[in-house]
Amino acid sequence: MLRIARPALRATQRRCASTATSPASEVPLANLELRWKTLSAQEQTSLAKQLEQAQAGEWTKMTLEQKKAAYWVAFGPHGARTPLTGPNHGIKVLAGTTAVVGAAGGLFLWIRSKGGDRPTTTTKEWQEAQNEYARENKINPITGISSENYKGTGYVSLSNK
């Protein structure tokens, strides 16, 4: 199957080479990196085909300008390799993140200011009463507050001293 396809492929390459290397369709390779975006899609395609034909032969016969252009077309930052981020992207991300965190902090403080007094269940007296209730009713007698030699604070949280 490959032996049949190769002659047809070579004939197609010869036809493309004869049309692609005609002086009217050649795109100059000088400063390709700077001019790539200004070329039309047809010119870009024509240039890519022109370079493919040059690469089909011996690489030693290619000029340095052709080699640079072939590399640019294959690996340049265009098409699928266009960078996703532009200049000053980091500053924009930092500013956006700072704005969101600041807005969240402001919202948190506003909600806290609109809240009422602390619940009575968070007072130290209430939590000590919970400890007494737990001891009287022998809650968690193996490892908890009702066990022998218990040394913890029970239900009293350390932040409510």
Summarised one tens digit per residue, pLDDT across range 132-144 is 999 999 999 998 9
The predicted-structure confidence for 8-49, as pLDDT tens digits, reads as follows 444 444 444 444 444 445 667 877 877 888 888 888 888 889
Whether the full predicted model's pTM is greater than 0.85, yes or no, is no
Looking at the structure, do residues 74 and 6 belong to the same domain, yes or no? yes
Three-state DSSP state, 114: helix
Query: Considering its fold, how many domains does the chain have in total?
Result: 3
Looking at the structure, do residues 17 and 61 belong to the same domain, yes or no? yes
Looking at the structure, do residues 71 and 14 belong to the same domain, yes or no? yes
Boundaries of domain holding 132: 120-160
Residue bearing the bigger pLDDT, 71 or 110: 110
The pLDDT of residue 26: 67
Burial class (CB within 10 angstroms; exposed 0-12, middle 13-18, buried 19+) of 127? middle
Looking at the structure, do residues 47 and 9 belong to the same domain, yes or no? yes
Ranking 19-23, 63-67, 90-94, 156-160 by mean pLDDT, the lowest is 19-23
Looking at the structure, do residues 77 and 36 belong to the same domain, yes or no? yes
The pLDDT of residue 48: 86
For CA atoms 93, 94, 100, 101, the dihedral sign is positive
Residue bearing the bigger pLDDT, 152 or 94: 94
The rounded radius of gyration (Å) of the Cα atoms in the chain is 38
Backbone angles phi, psi at 10, to 5 degrees: -65, -40
Looking at the structure, do residues 110 and 128 belong to the same domain, yes or no? no
Domain C-terminal end among 81, 104, 132:
81
SS (H, E, C) 5-35: HHHHHHHHHHHHHHHHCCCCCCCCCCCHHHH
The pLDDT of residue 95: 97
The pLDDT of residue 24: 41
Three-state DSSP state, 95: helix
Looking at the structure, do residues 126 and 71 belong to the same domain, yes or no? no
pLDDT beyond 60 at 108 = yes
DSSP state of 37: G
Looking at the structure, do residues 77 and 100 belong to the same domain, yes or no? no
| pLDDT confidence band for 98 (50 / 70 / 90) | very high
Token pair belonging to 43: 């010119």
**Residue with tokens 């001293």, as numbered in its chain:** 161
The pLDDT of residue 160: 57
Looking at the structure, do residues 98 and 126 belong to the same domain, yes or no? no
pLDDT beyond 90 at 127 = yes
Looking at the structure, do residues 73 and 6 belong to the same domain, yes or no? yes
Looking at the structure, do residues 21 and 55 belong to the same domain, yes or no? yes
Looking at the structure, do residues 104 and 147 belong to the same domain, yes or no? no
